[in-house]
Structure 1
Amino acid sequence: MTRNDSGDRAGTAWDAVADVIVVGMGAAGCAAAVAAHDAGAQVLILEKGDADTAGGNTRVSGGAWFGHDDPEGIATYLRALCGDRPVPEPIIRAWAHGTREITEWMSSLGVTALPLRHFPVEYPELPGSDAYDHLRCVDGAMGDGRLYRALETIVRERDIPVRYGSPATELVTDPADGRVTGVLTAAGERLAARRGVVLSTGGFEGDADLVREHLGLEDPPLWGSAAATGDGLRMAQDIGADLWHMDNMMAVNGIPRPDSRHGSFAMLIHRRGYLWVDDDGRRFVDECVPTGHGQALIDGEYRLHPERPMHVVFDERTRLAGPIGAVPEILPVGWSLLVDGYRWSPDNSVEIEAGWIHRADTLEELADATGVPAAALVESVARYNRACETGHDEHFGRAPETLVPVSEPPFYAYRSGPMLGWTSGGPRRDEHARVLRPSGEAIEGLYAAGSVSSTYSWAKDGGFHIADALVFGRIAGEHAAARG
């Protein structure tokens, strides 16, 4: 970086200048910065969080990307996952070939990438699914911040400057032709980007207004970073960017923490004795339907799952079977666990005493505590228990092996928002990661990668989001570095 190296056409001096400015340093941002640097560009990273919270959702993710050796087959799988929301073919081809190269590229950067063999393909019924190979992770272990630490180390080894606590607020454009020439920061700095700006700011799950508008959820608890507030989306939209995939998301059953915007992932793996009811006290779905990363096959179509708030009801036997919230020994992911350091109690008693989970001696009392109609809740539990007795769920088709009764008091319930993991929508981009206008014209000098502008128009599999971030982050960095 240099100070006051140049000015814009209006003659206003810049506070600093780089070839490529990367906004956000999760997987996409780090990949873009490293790729641009290795292509000979002078790079600056602006990171909204401080050093202890930087990295967005990548910091707390499973950190896995999927592998394959069949670009044609995996492209077929992606088309099937998109369903009636097709993604342009050039993007599919770039994604298919790029995802094939991730492991080799990461290895070339010094990362020990090993397979995880116990995570099968999530949509085996779809064409092309047989091209999906095992997940890959840093050192062959999922979560615990390994991927973020590896990427941060690679950035540091290259002496790429990172400005922590420096959110970007606005893109600077050339008034003559509209190309992006730099960014403004919250501190009022004007930073020039000779060759391009890469937006890798994450999604908009942390912004309650955007979530309400585009996803129809009322301030749900968050799985990941609360810093993902749609910054890149807004900056791009302000200069005329088109948007895509705005109603797509990844949500999970999660238990909100009243002391935090974050929640804990509800595993419920030790015993299946639970059911979901809506605010009317009615059961409304197969709670155990096989689910991918955000969608499930329900009534013949792939639908968001879970897609709306629900009360999760269970009994004493399920409570005693093991921790309901995520614990590091099983799945070391999520902001609550890895950043806030919250450790769920082995028998769920601490969370019950804290009021995160309601407890009652009868279902009628539980209904009163949760605010649902008592008669409806009692009938829903009775119908569910009858299905458990017969081994046949005539209403929603839940698999017999998952039908475990909810019958031993006391009874428990919590309301899941559901918990929002991440969003997929943002500025539309092309196969070069260039942000596009509604006309399809590229906004020169502006790129987007990662959850700010995910490839996935609908369903997605395990390791897809990290893979997408690494692929298009790399593409964005290389393309920006090659601009004159």
Structure 2
Amino acid sequence: MSITTDVLVIGGGGSGLAASISAATSGAKAIVLEKCPRPGGSTGMSVGSFTAANTAYQYRAGVNDSIELFIEDMKVANGADEARENAALRRVLAENAGSTLEWLSSIGVQFLGPTPEPPYEKPRMHNVLPNSGAYVTALLREARKRGVRVITDARVDRLLRNAAGEVIGARANGKEYFGRRAVVLATGDYSAAADLKAAYVGEDAARVPAVNKTNTGDGFRLGSDVGGVMLQMDRLYEGLRFPPGRFPDPIKLLPSHPVVSRMVRLVAERLPARLLAVLLRGALTSWVGPNNTMYGAGAILVNEQGRRVANEDSDKLLARGVAADSNKGYMVFDEALAKRFSAWPNPVSTFPGVAYAYVGDYARYRPDMFHKADTLEELAEKAGIDASGLRGTVQSFREHAARGEDPEFGRTAFGAGIGDGPYYALGPMQSYITLADGGLAVDTELRVTTPEGSVIPGLYAAGSTGQGGLQLLNHGLHIGWAMVSGRIAGRHAAQAEARADLVAVGPQDSVLETPVEELSVIR
């Protein structure tokens, strides 16, 4: 059995849904194959910030911005990684982010902003309201409106090619789906693909779990199987987060209906900034881990045995150290540091430009993660840490800090170290990879290319799958790229010449390991 459409999109997250809508509004019929029971992908799990220049939100706020200023700020944010940047794709992002955000607004997505996001000179970060589910709700509604068919529980295990080597479709659950004009890969990143992480980053990184467990690198495997090349697979966003609290995040509980989004925006724009920040602190403390500036000021991270697990100078090393142990880590600090991080300009954690949480906020909103005691022994008992181990570790660290050297892990920033009590612990925290920054090589039309730079006929990639060497080293750029690249890929795919030969040839064995399920259709 086979099904034929004009544009076949593999992946129903933000970039895939945007690609399907773009294809449909360009005059093509589109089908989306999503392997999960529900669409949304990482877009629906994200904070939801969208960074863009030249938006109506900026105009209303009196922000005079430009594409060139946006690009220059991205260069600054890249730092040493600027040498790795795909400048052509960066310009595509910068030039299209503003109009894409306006398009999202036109289909019912509401934003709060723009807010500052250092080191950017201009406020460009637009925060979705009431939560990132608003993207998924609006995109699905628009996709249905445009006649896009979204099929769930449909994991693709093979791309199909004709005798000329053109990509003409895909196989999922034993069925063949053909795209007369093109196939778009939009399957997210590889943050949950242990084999890819081990091969390109290392075994220690492979042990760190992903926030989105379904990001198993399917598009990377499918694309490379037909000649595509993976770029910059060595960079993962690794860090520590708090597990979900006893009570759900109130922001995520809000329904993402357009009417609710508009109401939330009206309220948010009229509330005094200080009051809005207070309301957001409950959400902020629900999962965001402490800033690494607390370690630089003297805090340490220990496991359940009270032992340090890694160099606290590096979020990456901390995440790997915690994952290699019990995946439980506790930040320990003293009274002096607690006072320092109880008021501006020293927040414990942030929603940049929107809300800041301090030590007292964790005591208020996350009492299950907040521990305080007069002695280290009492602190250990409250937090569930081995007392003798913690006592010995703190004593050793005091000696290291006094000498300014760390023979255990090579830490260089000791701050004031750990002094007198009372003592504090935040945790347990768990290590996670929020996203991975590799991607298939693509050109500026989002066509997948070979190592030699040749276009693979009939194949496009968007979002994280088609990141193509982009750095995206500041908040709000990944969502921006997902939507921008999806729209561009969908438009070009719809405009591609229809192929007459839709007969698949070549090996039909599966290149993916996970068994596929029966499919269902979202109507």
TM-score with structure 1 length normalisation? 0.71
Distance apart, 1:179 and its partner CA = 1.3
Cα 1:414/1:34, change in 2 over 3 Å: same
Distance apart, 1:238 and its partner CA = 1.0
Whether the 8 Å contact between 2:109 and 2:138 is mirrored in structure 1 is no
SS of the residue 2:453 aligns to? coil
Tell me whether 1:267 sits opposite 2:274 in the alignment: no
Alpha-carbon distance between aligned partners in 2 of 1:135 and 1:35, rounded to the nearest angstrom: 24
Match of 1:57 among 26, 36, 42: 42
Cα 1:148/1:345, change in 2 over 3 Å: farther
Tell me whether 1:460 sits opposite 2:473 in the alignment: yes
Q: Which residue of 1 aligns with 2:496?
A: 483
Cα 1:435/1:283, change in 2 over 3 Å: closer
Tell me whether 1:194 sits opposite 2:180 in the alignment: yes
Match of 2:90 among 86, 89, 92: 92
Whether the 8 Å contact between 2:397 and 2:417 is mirrored in structure 1 is no
Match of 1:444 among 449, 457, 467: 457
Q: Which residue of 2 aligns with 1:102?
A: 100
Alpha-carbon distance between aligned partners in 1 of 2:141 and 2:223, rounded to the nearest angstrom: 29
Please list the CA deviations of residues 1-41 of structure 1 after superposition, one character each: whole Å capped at 9, or x if unmatched: xxxxxxxxxxxxx6100111111111111110110000010
Alpha-carbon distance between aligned partners in 1 of 2:225 and 2:399, rounded to the nearest angstrom: 53
Whether the 8 Å contact between 2:9 and 2:30 is mirrored in structure 1 is yes
Q: Which residue of 2 aligns with 1:4?
A: none
Q: Which residue of 1 aligns with 2:3?
A: 16
Structure 2: where are the runs of 5+ without partners? Answer: 55-65, 245-285, 323-328, 343-347, 356-361, 405-410, 498-523
Q: Which residue of 1 aligns with 2:378?
A: 361
Match of 1:121 among 117, 121, 125: 117
Q: Which residue of 2 aligns with 1:155?
A: 143
Distance apart, 1:412 and its partner CA = 4.3
Alpha-carbon distance between aligned partners in 2 of 1:365 and 1:65, rounded to the nearest angstrom: 40
Cα 1:431/1:86, change in 2 over 3 Å: same
Distance apart, 1:241 and its partner CA = 0.7
Distance apart, 1:154 and its partner CA = 1.4
Cα 1:416/1:161, change in 2 over 3 Å: same
Cα 1:59/1:385, change in 2 over 3 Å: farther
Tell me whether 1:133 sits opposite 2:136 in the alignment: no
Whether the 8 Å contact between 2:312 and 2:318 is mirrored in structure 1 is no
Farther off after superposition, 240-249 or 141-150:
141-150
Q: Which residue of 2 aligns with 1:245?
A: 232
SS of the residue 2:223 aligns to? helix
TM-score with structure 2 length normalisation? 0.66
Q: Which residue of 2 aligns with 1:230?
A: 217
Whether the 8 Å contact between 1:208 and 1:219 is mirrored in structure 2 is yes
Q: Which residue of 2 aligns with 1:261?
A: none
Alpha-carbon distance between aligned partners in 1 of 2:350 and 2:74, rounded to the nearest angstrom: 30
> Following superposition of structure 1 onto structure 2, how do residues 173-188 of structure 1 map, counting pairs within 5 Å?
173-174=161-162, 176-185=163-172, 187-188=173-174
Cα 1:476/1:379, change in 2 over 3 Å: same
Alpha-carbon distance between aligned partners in 1 of 2:387 and 2:440, rounded to the nearest angstrom: 39
Please list the CA deviations of residues 195-237 of structure 1 after superposition, one character each: whole Å capped at 9, or x if unmatched: 11111111111122222332331422333x2111000011111
SS of the residue 1:151 aligns to? helix
Whether the 8 Å contact between 2:86 and 2:468 is mirrored in structure 1 is no
Farther off after superposition, 15-24 or 243-252:
243-252
Cα 1:313/1:146, change in 2 over 3 Å: same
Alpha-carbon distance between aligned partners in 2 of 1:115 and 1:456, rounded to the nearest angstrom: 30
Cα 1:360/1:373, change in 2 over 3 Å: closer
Q: Which residue of 2 aligns with 1:207?
A: 193
Aligned-partner residue type, residue 57 of structure 1: S
Match of 1:27 among 6, 9, 14: 14
Cα 1:101/1:406, change in 2 over 3 Å: farther
Q: Which residue of 1 aligns with 2:108?
A: 111
Aligned-partner residue type, residue 465 of structure 1: H
Please list the CA deviations of residues 88-109 of structure 1 after superposition, one character each: whole Å capped at 9, or x if unmatched: 44323222211232222223x4
Tell me whether 1:380 sits opposite 2:380 in the alignment: no
Q: Which residue of 2 aligns with 1:314?
A: 332
SS of the residue 1:235 aligns to? helix
Distance apart, 1:458 and its partner CA = 3.8
Whether the 8 Å contact between 1:309 and 1:417 is mirrored in structure 2 is no
SS of the residue 2:85 aligns to? coil
Q: Which residue of 2 aligns with 1:338?
A: none
Please list the CA deviations of residues 240-260 of structure 1 after superposition, one character each: whole Å capped at 9, or x if unmatched: 111112112223322468xxx
Task: Count residues with an aligned counterpart.
Answer: 409
Q: Select the structure that is richer in helix.
A: 2
Alpha-carbon distance between aligned partners in 2 of 1:351 and 1:89, rounded to the nearest angstrom: 43
Please list the CA deviations of residues 383-408 of structure 1 after superposition, one character each: whole Å capped at 9, or x if unmatched: 66999xxxxxx94275xxxx695754
Alpha-carbon distance between aligned partners in 2 of 1:237 and 1:45, rounded to the nearest angstrom: 21
Cα 1:19/1:219, change in 2 over 3 Å: same
> Following superposition of structure 1 onto structure 2, how do residues 39-54 of structure 1 map, counting pairs within 5 Å?
39-51=26-38, 54=39
SS of the residue 1:418 aligns to? strand
Cα 1:27/1:365, change in 2 over 3 Å: closer
SS of the residue 2:299 aligns to? strand
Whether the 8 Å contact between 1:66 and 1:464 is mirrored in structure 2 is yes
Farther off after superposition, 36-45 or 86-95:
86-95
Distance apart, 1:462 and its partner CA = 1.3
SS of the residue 1:253 aligns to? strand
